[in-house]
A and B are shown apart, each in its own frame.
Chain A
Amino acid sequence: MFFRKQKSWEISESEVTDYEIYQNRRQFLNTSLAVGLAGALPSMALADVAKQPKPFSDVSKSPFSTDEEKTDFESITTYNNFYEFGTSKQDPAINATAFPDESQPWKVVIDGECDKPGTYDYQDLIKAFTLEERIYRMRCVEGWSMVIPWIGFPLADLLKKAQPNSRAKFVEFTTLYDPKQMPGQRRAVLDWPYVEGLRIDEAMNPLTLLSVGLYGKELLGQNGAPIRLVVPWKYGFKGIKSIVHIRFVEDMPQTAWMKANAREYGFYSNVNPNVDHPRWSQAKERRIGEFLKRKTLMFNGYGEQVADLYAGMDLKRYF
């Protein structure tokens, strides 16, 4: 057997700083400093711990809004499916408090089958559009629902600016991939980054919203800051969060959930009480804040605006 004697100048393995900690030494210094300052200035400390979302001014009302009772802000911001920040409903509210990192400006790439592709700074991107408040029902595939007052603008407004060409049959969306900021991405629960897609006519429908806020303020990390998709007649997972890439494509995109389980998650994923998911009956839903279940509406109650998109399609087959 080989024995190795420790030299007098050597330090034992246990005393060596972990590489990870060494790598993050500046962050460590910063946080120590912040903690020190926090002790001296308690008001500053609060601002540092949880991001304070800025309110929007000049937000117009929308005729598409429902007058149903809104789900409370607390529930909307603490009960989230956002696997990039953990798989339990409470995880995103805990892990996304500092997201997105303000020192890195958020960019959105728009490209693919269009005449005016480009990379936009998020702040410049939203400046061009009039923001409106839209109070939409949100139905999750798991059988619960909320009523959320979103702030945003129609996706169509943005897509038209990029001038899609005749080959643009679908629009593909991609979430940020950054395991440093999104700890959930360190495990292969889904095939990261998260990808979603819409048919071009679905994307152009006036109901389809790019949202940047809710309850009059900027989106919090757990709700998909800074910019996310809202498609109220589809199950919630179609509403991809924290978008960095919008691409016009000719072929139907493979979405993250289709890749995970194609038998259970179809491309369309329209809310449909008559087509059951193998695990959740879709006939009923529990509105957050209520104890008993209520009936689920076809297209989540938005049939008037969207039913003709699917005229002649067998919705049991194209689920």
Chain B
Amino acid sequence: MQAWISNVISEQQLSANTKASVVKTFLFILCLLPLIYLVWGLFTDNLGANPVETLTRSSGLWALRFLLITLLVSPIRWYTGLTAIVKYRRMLGLYAFFYASVHMLLYLGLDQLFDIQDIWKDIVKRPFITVGFISFILLLPLAITSTNKMMKRLGGKRWKRLHRLTYLIATLSCVHFLMLVKADIREPVIYMILLSLLFFVRLFHSLSKKKLVSR
């Protein structure tokens, strides 16, 4: 009897695990599509007259989009009860880091030819580069501490506190976007509105939690 029960449990566990890994694989490929599209566009000459600009802009935009998607995971969990989706948050966050790295490498390599002096001058001189650079640097510790090992080493509380940097990074990324447009601020403003909605949801959630506790 005992053996039979444990057998059933492990089978259930197994099917849950396979389901998660299938979803994970699917999500992994889905998140890779923007990159595939860009690389395909590059080799078929479909990125317009200035392909480097298209690549830089798109990779930056996808980094910002993935930051916002990552921040969307918790609200979805609170309000739909879909607790399982937390399993996929790390991948989404790492994709934000991945697209930000592509964005950064394109800038360092194709715009600045990896000339350290030029890069430093640029960071100091142009405020939108400064802001973008800071937000990329802040992403680094989050990517480094994304493994289970690091999570354990830091301890849940400290790890969580560190990863709250995501809010700051997303804000800086929006500011970076806003600063680089010439006159038409529509697009960056849309991202700022989305980000402030995410902030509001969090504020609302933490306030309502406190209320429950004080009651």
Q: Which residues of A contact B (CB under 8 A)?
A: 74-75, 78-79, 83, 87, 89-90, 142, 144, 189-190, 260, 276, 278-281, 283, 286, 288-289, 291-293
Query: Contact at A279–B126, with CB atoms within 8 Å?
Result: yes
Q: Please report the C-alpha to C-alpha distance between residue A286 and residue B127 in the assembled complex, in whole angstroms.
A: 21
Task: Tell me how many residues of B have a C-beta within 8 Å of chain A.
Answer: 19
- A283 to B122 Cα, complex, angstroms: 11
Contact indicator B49/A276 (Cβ below 8 Å): no
Q: With the chains together, A286 CA to B122 CA distance in Å?
A: 16
| In the assembled complex, B11 has its CB within 8 A of some CB on chain A | no
In the complex, what distance in Å separates the CA atom of A189 from the CA atom of B53? 22
Determine if B203 is an interface residue (Cβ-Cβ < 8 Å): no
Which of B93-101, B137-145, B179-187, B207-215 contacts its partner?
Answer: B179-187
- Roughly how many angstroms separate A142 CA and B48 CA in the complex, as a whole number? 16
**Partner of B49 from A75, A283, A292 at Cβ < 8 Å:** A75
Is A278 within 8 A of B113, CB to CB?
A: no
Instruction: Name B's interface SS.
Output: helix
Q: Is the CB of B52 within 8 A of A286?
A: yes
Q: Which of B48, B52, B111, B118 contacts A78, CB < 8 Å?
A: B48
State in angstroms the CA–CA spacing of A79 and B196 once bound together. 33
Chain A residues, Cβ within 8 Å of B49: 74-75, 78-79, 89, 288-289
Task: Give Cα A296–Cα B214 distance, bound, in whole angstroms.
Answer: 65
A289 to B53, CA, bound (A): 12
Measured CA separation A89–B54 after assembly (Å): 11
Q: Are A278 and B48 in contact (CB under 8 A)?
A: no
Nearest CB in chain B to that of A72: its residue? B49
CB neighbours of A79 from chain B (8 A): 48-50
B127 nearest in chain A by CB position: A278
The answer to whether A144 and B125 touch (CB under 8 A), given A79-B48, A279-B179, A293-B111, is no
Determine if B110 and A292 form an interchain contact, defined as CB atoms under 8 angstroms apart.
yes
Question: Which of these, B110, B113, B125, contacts A276 with CB under 8 Å?
Answer: B125
What distance in Å separates the Cβ of A221 from its nearest Cβ neighbour in chain B?
Answer: 17
User: Provided the pairs A83-B183, A260-B183 are in contact, do residues A291 and B126 lie with their beta carbons within 8 angstroms?
Assistant: no
A278 and B126 form a contact (CB under 8 A): yes
| B residues less than 8 Å from A289 (CB atoms) | 49
Of B50, B110, B111, B125, chain A has the most CB atoms within 10 Å of the CB of B50
Q: Are B113 and A292 interface neighbours, CB within 8 A?
A: yes
Report A153 CB to chain B, min CB distance, Å: 28
B62 at the interface (CB under 8 A from A): no
When C-beta atoms are compared, the residue in chain B nearest to A80 turns out to be B49
Q: How far is the CB of A79 from chain B (nearest CB, A)?
A: 3
**Chain B residues positioned under 8 Å from A281 (CB to CB):** 122, 125-126
> Considering only CB atoms, which chain A residue lies closest to B185 in the complex?
A189
Q: How far is the CA of A291 from the CA of B180 in the complex (A)?
A: 21
Which of A78, A260, A279 makes the CB contact (< 8 A) with B180?
A279
Residue of B nearest to A284 (CB): B111
B128 within 8 A of A: yes
Q: Mark B106-146, 1 if CB is under 8 A from A, else 0.
A: 00001101000010001001111000000000000000000
- Indicate whether A87 sits within 8 Å of B183 (C-beta atoms), given known contacts A144-B50, A292-B113, A293-B111: yes
**Nearest Cβ in chain B — how far from A89, in angstroms?**
7
Q: In the bound complex, how far is the Cα of B53 from the Cα of A166, in angstroms?
A: 46
Instruction: Given contact pairs A87-B183, A292-B113, A293-B110, enumerate 6 new A-B contacts (beta carbons under 8 Å).
Output: A89-B48, A144-B53, A260-B183, A279-B180, A286-B50, A288-B49
List of A residues within 8 angstroms of B182 by Cβ: 87, 142, 279
Cα A182 to Cα B111 with chains together (Å): 34
Given the complex of chains A and B, what is the CA–CA distance between A291 and B179 in angstroms?
25
Give the one of A189, A190, A281 with max B CB within 10 A: A281
Our pick among A90, A291, A293 for the contact of B48 (Cβ within 8 Å) is A90
* Chain B stretch 148-163: residues in CB contact (< 8 A) with chain A: none
* Residues of the B chain whose Cβ atoms lie less than 8 Å from the Cβ of A90: 48
Closest to B180 in A: A279
A293 and B113 in contact (CB under 8 A), knowing A281-B122, A281-B126?
A: yes
> Which A residues are in CB contact (< 8 Å) with B126?
276, 278-281
Contacts of A144 in B (CB 8 A): 50, 53
Max chain A Cβ within 10 angstroms of own Cβ: one of B111, B118, B125, B128: B111
Question: Quick one: closest A residue to B184, CB to CB?
Answer: A87
